Structure 1
Amino acid sequence: MQSPVSKWIVAFGVLTISLIITGCANTGGIAPQAQGLDSSTLDAGAAIRAANADAKWPDAGWWRAYNDPQLNAWIAAAQEGNPTLAVAAARVRQARSLAGVVASALSPQVKGELSIQRQHWPDNVYYGPGPLADQNTWNNTGTISLSYNLDLWGHNRNNAERALDMAHASAADARAAQLELEANVVRTYVQMSMNYALLDIAKSTVDQQHRILDLATKRLKGGLGTQLEVSQAETPLPEYERQIDAYEEAIALGRNQLAALAGKGPGAGGSITRPTIGLAAPIGLPSTLPAELIGHRPDVVAARWTVAAQARGIDVAKSDFYPNINLLASVGGFAAAGPMFQFLHAANGGWTAGPALSLPIFEGGRLRAQLGAASAGYDVAVDQYNQTIVSALKDIADQIVRMKSLETQSKDAQRSVDAARRNYQLSAEGYRRGLTDYLNVLIAQTQLLRAQEGVARVQAERIGVQASLVTALGGGVIEPEDGPDTAETLPAHGRGKKAPAPAPAPATPVASTTPGATAAAMRPVSTTSSK
């Protein structure tokens, strides 16, 4: 029969361990402080509210709307060969592999060890007479050991989820890099198209100036003009010819830029011909913003995955306060002296099995500091997510304002060209008939040149802004369901708390390119402090 003393000892031990565990689990109220933005509380602005309610989100091949096969080919080449995009893809693979390394801790670990040694024993100078004195023997060991962490507090599970969340964030960042690359190719291509248009205007202006010079020369020979008029007609020619050289230079630099974006040498750009890009219809904005915005922008989705990863980091830090239990077992054979395979005999075998428990008792405040750092990291991620939302709305609103302004500017610029052309024709005809002097022709020609350049620049900028708006809307490279659920962006202690509701649905039905999108993937992140 067990003595009463031993029972008291056992009870005291259990109580002591319980008190130690309770003390170790005291987190002292350390918790995140940041609060995720509710997108419905942000005023999207008049520009976004006035967007076309019948518009759809851009699809992944948005640049094909420009109907330029050469542009399509160069974007495909850039997607395949751009070094920056390759680096982003490699980082995604690296993040996924690291997530696999961390996730391996969830599985049982089996390890085998084999040691086969030939040993020469010293003579009896050290050990005295005996059977091993000055002998050669085999000393062999073979063991198989198994360990399994019970993970009672979710340390390994949350660590694996955190690594996987970071892999998701890396994938979203790679999609953002892809979208930015596509936009840069389009912008460079549009700039080249504009330079070709400006080159045409400059060449046309030089031809006009030569005709005026011929007319001034004929008038001088006929006694109707002066040498001053001839000199005035000659003076602009060098500047106009310099402009031609400048535009040709810009076109060549554009070819080099496209080749670089595609990860090729400058020589590859030599085959690029004049762009045939056309003005696409204005791109409207879906009226479901700002809620839909959260699910379609890669940077927003990446920010949400980062928040989810930081939330799991808090759970990992909390689990360190509790005991860790491993199940250990091993079986093996051991033999010193004897035949080479003596350790394989049953008589030489042995085994061990049982649990191993470890828990923090006194660690100098390290665990609380780790939890504080994890909570602060979560706050940083939430605030960065909030800033991403604010910046995204500003980006979209800016592009819409520019789009609407450029539509008006395009009409005004064309009116300016029409008026300047009539003025130039009248002044040129008046000069030919001797009714006016050359100064009027020079002024009218300068006005026409500037007006024509204005039209070309406004049209090119309009296409460029369309590309920027597509980028601001996410470019169709990611879907809302690619992001984490709202529960995943909260630490374990905050789950079950009510998160801010997403922006209300619009009164007018809107066509959507993502009918299967889940509402949870588009909600803002939130955190609730624990006691």
Structure 2
Amino acid sequence: MTVRMRCTIVGLFGNPQKNIIVPDSSLSEREKIVQSPATRGTFALAVLAISLIMAGCASMGDVAPQAKQIDPASLDAGAAIAAAERDAGWPAADWWRAYRDPQLDAWIAASLAGNPSLAAAQARVREAQSLARVAHAEELPQLNGNLSLMRQHWPDNVYYGPGPLANADTWNNTGTLSLSYHLDLWGKDKNNAQRALDAARARAADARAAQLELEANVVRAYIDFAKNYALLDIAHATYDRQNELAELARKRLRAGIGTQLEVSQAEAPLPDYSRQIDSYEEAIQLGRHQLAALAGKGPGAGASLGRPKLALDANAGLPSALPAELIGRRPDVVAARWTVDAQARGIDVAKAAFYPNVDLIASLGGFAVSAPFATFLRAMNGGWSAGPALTLPIFEGGRLRAQLGVAAAGYDQAVEHYNQTIVGALKDIADNVVRLRSLDSQQKDAARAVSLTRRSYDLSHTGFSRGLTDYVNVLIAQSQLLTAQENQTRVEAARLAAHASLMAALGGGLETAGDAPHDTPAGDARRADASDASAASSASAAASVSGAPAGSRAAGIGAAVSAGADRATDNTRASATTPAAAPAHAARARAPASAAAPAIR
């Protein structure tokens, strides 16, 4: 049961006699005391006091959140991260330029400008911004006007009879201005507006995560595109060598020093090698289609792509501040942290519902019935009303506690999602460090295998052409060389892709700033009894993106949550505590002194 009380002071303009106000002389002493301003004010204060007392009937019980946030610095990063070089710096915003391929740079720019999924993510940011402005509007006074103009014709017939209004036209007009303002005594509106703003920041971080995923997908698709070109070259070279061997076998047969079996053995692999050529040409065309789709274009747009020229000089170096700064470097972690902050505000909103709701209401207007048009504008026909309206919960069947439970459970879910995101982020980094270090070693072995099998093939080919060795030796050497060359190409492509995945795992250029998730002191105090470590890692959290490439749809979280949304919540943000200073370390990834790796061409 919810009780609503309204204490309203009503007044009329104009002549007291015409407005039918009872003169003081006709009132008893008791009535005069009741209607005096002092008595009315005392009554209003009494109602407010009673409301506060009765509000205690709605108990919050023991409903409280249970989850606690993980401090990234407390996690064991593992031997792989510990053993990696720790002064390489965080990735640059345009991290893909390390591959030194202008065509790749241009295609990523086109993808950021035209990808529909990224555009949808940006639309979600704009939606969240608008919702934040809607929530902020609830903190402001509401002024509404109402005007009603109605003309009425009175009949003159036997039913109505003669009279002053018979066969006359009159107006029934009303004009009012109403003002309402919710007294946010318990911070419900403020926390609701801050929750909406935090949600908008989370959506902006999600948009940056979508941009990073798109960048990484384009790079990986482009690497696969380059790999298929390299494999096509190997298939062509293998076919040409095999065709040369078949011709050599035929010459030996004509010279009487060869056999038909040798000719048949030399010609047998040719159809399969031709099939491989067709297969890689198909893969190249499919790669064009995939890259075109990532850029939001039709399949034909991929025809403009030339052969990639990728090269990378990099090792598995990591920033020195990992994992402590990871909370402000990965957009998915930042989004999860803002979501936690928004859910914490939701708990404050749910708690505020247990207390009385106080609104100030006032109206001013003029009224006239069966009168000339402008009569309602005269002072004598004006009136006003003003007073507070109180709503307080007394018995609501446990609804408020259930709503608080929903908010607390939502907070727990957000915290556990944040914790899982932190754990998953460290796993991604460790996996890619291990993979990249392994592929660096595999690359050296693959290059050595190509060198050895090529020498073996050259020796067997020379021996066969001179009649010194059997053709079987040539077939074995040819197969070994083909396998070694394909392995080398795939290892190099995997190495390039692992580097792209590591850059994405490190945040892809997301930079920390002072606009970090934070809680108001009041909110911290109200949540302290439920989760004493609910904001243990918020001091190092960060939420704005800077340094994104020009033309990017998601230039940054700070930019994505537009100035309009920020201006709409200036009052709310001004009352919040100042977030902890973000780490100043923003070093760029440096090129190591190691020798350049072979390029996929």
CA distance in 1, matches of 2:494, 2:522: 39
After superposing the two structures, state which structure 1 stretch, 50-59 or 82-91, moved more. Answer: 50-59
Report if aligned partners of 1:487, 1:495 keep a CA contact under 8 Å in 2.
no
- How far apart are residue 128 of structure 1 and its match? 6.5
Cα deviation, residue 127, structure 1: 6.7
Q: Distance in 2 between matches of 1:385 and 1:504?
A: 15
Q: Give me the whole-angstrom Cα distance separating, in 2, the residues matched to 1:486 and 1:316.
A: 13
For structure 2, the 5+ residue unaligned runs are 1-28, 541-546, 548-578, 584-601
1:479 partner SS: coil
Find the counterpart in structure 1 of residue 559 from structure 2. Answer: none
The answer (yes or no) to whether the contact 1:304–1:483 under 8 Å persists in 2 is no
2:434 maps to which of 401, 406, 414: 401
Secondary structure, counterpart of 1:106 in structure 2 = coil
Q: Would you say the 8 A contact 2:51–2:356 is kept in 1?
A: no
Q: Which runs of 5+ in 1 are unaligned?
A: 506-512, 523-531
Give the distance between the partners of 1:491 and 1:193, measured in 2 at CA.
53
Aligned amino acid, residue 149 of structure 2: I
Aligned 8 A contact 1:314 1:491 in 2: no
Partner of residue 119, structure 1: 152
| Aligned residue identity for 1:402 | R
Distance 1:429 1:359 in 2: 99
Query: SS of 2:317's equivalent?
Result: coil
Is the alpha carbon distance of 1:263 and 1:13 closer, same or farther for their aligned partners in structure 2, counting shifts above 3 Å? closer
Q: Which residue of 2 is the match for residue 382 of structure 1?
A: 415
Question: Is 1:339 the equivalent of 2:372?
Answer: yes
Task: Count the aligned residue pairs.
Answer: 509
Say if 1:48 and 1:287, in contact at 8 Å, map to a contact too. no
Instruction: Describe how 1:234-273 pairs up with structure 2 within 5 A.
Output: 234-273=267-306
2:348–2:523 Cα contact (<8 Å) kept: no
Alignment match of 1:143 (pick from 176, 195, 199)? 176
Shift of 1:519: 5.3
User: What residue in structure 1 maps to residue 317 of structure 2?
Assistant: 284
The amino acid of 2:295's aligned partner reads: A
1:47-196 aligned at under 5 Å gives the runs 47-121=80-154, 130-196=163-229
Q: Is residue 21 of structure 1 aligned with residue 55 of structure 2? A: yes
C-alpha separation in 2, matches of 1:19 and 1:504: 38
The match for 1:484 among 517, 520, 530 is 517
Match of 1:449 in 2: 482
Letter in 2 for 1:94: E
Amino acid at match of 1:415: R
Letter in 2 for 1:371: L
**Residue 308 (str. 1) matches residue 341 (str. 2):** yes
User: Is the deviation greater in 128-137 or in 466-475?
Assistant: 128-137
| 1:438, distance to aligned residue in structure 2 (A) | 0.6
Give the alignment partner of residue 425 of structure 2, picking from 360, 380, 392. Answer: 392
1:149-187 residue CA offsets vs partner (Å, 9 max, x unmatched): 111011111111111111000000000000000001100
Q: Does 1:434 align with 2:484?
A: no
Distance in 2 separating the partners of 1:194 and 1:87:
31
Cα root mean square deviation, aligned? 2.7
Distance 1:485 1:270 in 2: 49
Deviates more, 1:124-133 or 1:385-394: 124-133
Amino acid at match of 1:103: H
Residue number among 227, 232, 237 corresponding to 1:204 in the alignment: 237
Matched AA of 2:54: I
- Cα displacement (A) at 1:359: 1.1
Residue aligning to 1:528? none
1:216-240 per-residue CA deviation (whole Å, 9 max, x = no partner) reads 0111011111000000000000111
Preserved CA contact (<8 Å) 1:485 1:520: no
2:73 equivalent to 1:40: yes
Does the 8 A contact of 2:52 with 2:355 survive in 1?
Answer: no
**Contact 2:539–2:580 at 8 Å: present in 1 too?**
no
* Structure with more helix by fraction: 1
Distance 2:514 2:285 in 1: 43
User: 2:425 aligned with 1:425, yes or no?
Assistant: no
Partner Cα distance (1:346, 1:12) in 2: 34
Between the two proteins, what is the percent identity of the paired residues?
63
Match of 2:552 in 1: none
SS of residue in 1 equivalent to 2:56: helix
Q: Is the 8 A contact 1:427 1:441 kept in 2?
A: yes
Q: 1:122 & 1:492 partners in 2: Cα distance?
A: 71
Structure 1 residue aligned with 2:17: none
Equivalent residue for 2:404?
371
**Cα distance per residue 1:297-346 (max 9 Å; x no partner):** 00000001100110111100111111111111111111112221211111
- For 1:127-147, what per-residue CA distance to the aligned partner results, in whole angstroms no more than 9, with x for missing partners? 766433553211111111111
* Pair 1:488–1:187, CA change in 2 (3 A): farther
Q: 1:125 to 1:45 in 2, by over 3 A?
A: farther
Deviation at 1:422, TM superposition (A): 1.0
With normalisation by structure 1, the TM-score equals 0.90
Shift of 1:214: 1.3
* CA deviation after TM superposition for structure 1 residue 17, in Å: 3.8
